[in-house]
Amino acid sequence: MNNTFLSSTIAQLNYYKNLGEKTFDQLTDEQLFWQYNTESNSIAIIVKHMIGNMLSRWTNFLTTDGEKEWRNRESEFENDIATRNELLALWEKGWQCLFDALNSLDADDLEKIIYIRNQGHTIVEAINRQLAHYPYHIGQIVFIGKMVCNTQWTSLSIPKGNSQKYNESKFAKPKHKEHFTEEYIEKK
């Protein structure tokens, strides 16, 4: 295992962060807080939960359990976020915590054992656990975005009816090595 795993993981997580942000950009403030019914979560609630998880899992993750004593998971499903700006500030705070933690690692760290609710994980296992968890919720965010935007939705991947054209453009290029997310992430 080498740093290719870490760089690939970071690229993948940036891709999912970007999907969330491109969804937020298409929504009104009201749509960020819309719930299908009382048993479903709004985008704001999903974000609050994700950020609670990120802060708990990745703060001092090498030395403390990933389920912090200060985390109140149940409250993550109660919306007390008031504005888009507050939502986006929380979003950035959680992702920054995650990326700071991942960027602090090197290949020698990947087999170290850390704990989540007293259950030991190698760092690779802990990363994979979250690499499944966060995209699960990003998918929910995108799906809600598509529902509320309906025909005004701008596709975040290959739009319906464009698969052949997309594949033709890919196969027109010579074989090369790049992370698939590079074409989707806007250069900053």
Residues 37-57 have pLDDT tens digits of 999 999 999 999 999 999 999
What pLDDT, on a 0 to 100 scale, did the predictor assign at position 147? Answer: 96
Q: Which residue has the higher pLDDT, 100 or 165?
A: 100
Of 166 and 1, more confident: 166
- The rounded mean pLDDT for the chain is 93
pLDDT, one tens digit per residue, over 81-103 is: 999 999 999 999 999 999 999 99
The total number of residues written for the chain in this structure:
188
Return d(Cα 96, Cα 72) in angstroms, integer.
20
Confidence of residue 181 (pLDDT cuts 50, 70, 90): confident
CATH code for the domain in which residue 47 is found = 1.20.120.450
Range of the domain at 152: 3-156
| Any domain includes 173 | no
- Does some domain include residue 169? no
Q: Which residues, other chains included, contact 186 with Cβ-Cβ below 8 Å and sequence gap of 6+?
A: 18
pLDDT in tens, 67-79: 999 999 999 999 9
Q: State the virtual CA torsion across 98, 104, 108, 109 in degrees, nearest 10.
A: -40
In the chain, what percentage of residues exceed pLDDT 90? Answer: 82
Determine the pLDDT at residue 185: 66
Which amino acid, 148?
A: V
Beta strands in 20-179 (DSSP E): 113-116, 119-122
Tell me whether residue 28 is in a domain. Answer: yes
Q: What is the pLDDT of residue 188?
A: 39
Q: Indicate whether 174 belongs to any domain.
A: no
Q: Is the pLDDT of residue 35 over 90?
A: yes
Q: How many domains does the chain have?
A: 1
In a domain, 67, yes or no: yes
Q: Report the distance separating Cα 183 and Cα 79, nearest Å.
A: 34
Q: Is residue 171 part of a domain?
A: no
Is the distance from CB of 138 to CB of 19 less than 8 angstroms?
yes
- Residue 187 covered by a domain: no
Angstrom distance (rounded) from CA 93 to CA 54: 9
- Would the pTM count as exceeding 0.75? yes
